[in-house]
Homo-oligomer: A and B are copies of this chain.
Amino acid sequence: MPKEPPVVDIHTHIYPPTYLSLLRSRKTVPYLLDLADKTLPPRLIILPSDDDPSLPPESRGRPIDVSYSSIEEKLKFMTNHHITTSVISLANPWLDFLPPEEGPKWATTINNELESLSTCNPGKIYAFATLPLSAPPQAIIQEISRLKTLPHIKGIILGTTGLGSGLDDPALNPIWSSLQSHSLLIFLHPHYGLPSSLYGPRAHEYGHVLPLSLGFPMETTIAFTRMWLSGVFDRYPGLKLLIAHSGGTIPFLAGRIDSCVQHERHFPEDQGTKTRGPIRSLDTVLKDNIYLDAVIYSGTGIRAAIEKVGVEKVLFGTDHPFFPPLEEGEKKWKSVFTNLDAVTEGQDGEGAGAGAGAGKILGGNAIELLGLEVG
């Protein structure tokens, strides 16, 4: 049988043991809550709304079983889904919540741990590092520089708040500059969602559906659009940004965003300030600087992603260990196959029918972009 072309999972998370110990040591959000019944997994209290003492402990937040923390479970999952190589990243909320003085040491420890997981699994595991964003810029830049000594670290994961006030914050300039000069890919990932008031008084009837399916991609879209509007890609044209969940909603809204920017130029005096769009158009930035993962669960989404950034800039991902199968113990994850089928299936099915592009999306693009040695 001919060897299958490699499959690279670019969007796959882990809470390594050190990170769980950090969360376990805390008593305020985010924190890990061990249950009295030790046969049950601990609960991660990640959002203020999870921290509800009126609920029994076993109903607060979400269960964090071994699939979240064990590299063996990750490798089993990869085998079951014919994934050759995973580029793992710390799951949210990363280190955003730490006091400034504690960020750097935790970042160093966790990034070293990610590097060591990679070294022990050659060709199977690479990683995106995490940055101590609550620390002073100089400490963040120091960690970015240090990452070049860790050969399996291929980029960094970044939430939407940056240093606290969004990715259009000019205080991020030295960070962008450092990431650009070290050619580190930035993996932009949501965490904070939208205010729960938007989901209305009956939101609890829909579980996590609204914040997870809408809040996450909308948060991502707003964060990226602010970043672009503020001229980050004018100042750092070499930045490479991989946007989670196929860009949130950017491929679909790009035309509308562009149209609004052009319209705004028509009456800047309305704002009492001179408004201008960024120098580099959204289309140019999408083509030059933006990569999108293929975690969008539909052929329609993948096609839109391909059209906006090009087939060589869309990269397969699973979002493991999130979206597990409906039935306990099921080895094949429906969420994974929905995304796989969306890339590989033909025009008549639900898939993107990417044809020759499918191999690139499933692995070739990641291998080339990050210089991976897979297998």
Residue positions of A touching B, CB distance < 8 A: 55, 59, 62-63, 165-166, 168-169, 194-195, 197-210, 212-214, 217-218, 221-222, 225-226, 229-230, 245-246, 249, 251-273, 275, 277, 296-301, 303-304, 307-308, 323-326, 334-335, 338, 342
- B304 with A214: CB separation less than 8 A: no
Q: A253-B249, A254-B300, A296-B255 are in contact. Are A261 and B209 (CB under 8 A)?
A: yes
Q: A304-B304, A324-B266, A326-B265 are in contact. Are A253 and B217 (CB under 8 A)?
A: yes
- A62 with B260: CB separation less than 8 A: no
- B273 with A204: CB separation less than 8 A: yes
**Chain B residues positioned under 8 Å from A334 (CB to CB):** 262
Q: A270-B207, A271-B207, A272-B55 are in contact. Are A230 and B213 (CB under 8 A)?
A: no
**Chain B residues positioned under 8 Å from A326 (CB to CB):** 262-263, 265-266
The 5 lowest CB-CB distance pairs between A and B, nearest first, are A255-B298, A255-B297, A252-B252, A213-B260, A207-B264
With the chains together, A195 CA to B193 CA distance in Å? 13
Q: A213-B259, A217-B253, A326-B265 are in contact. Are A270 and B225 (CB under 8 A)?
A: no
A-B contact pairs, 11 of them (CB 8 A): A59-B270, A195-B197, A200-B226, A204-B273, A205-B273, A207-B268, A208-B260, A209-B277, A213-B257, A252-B296, A259-B323
Which B residue's beta carbon lies closest to that of A328? B266
**Chain B residues positioned under 8 Å from A267 (CB to CB):** 63
- B210 with A198: CB separation less than 8 A: no
With the chains together, A335 CA to B217 CA distance in Å? 26
With the chains together, A262 CA to B217 CA distance in Å? 18
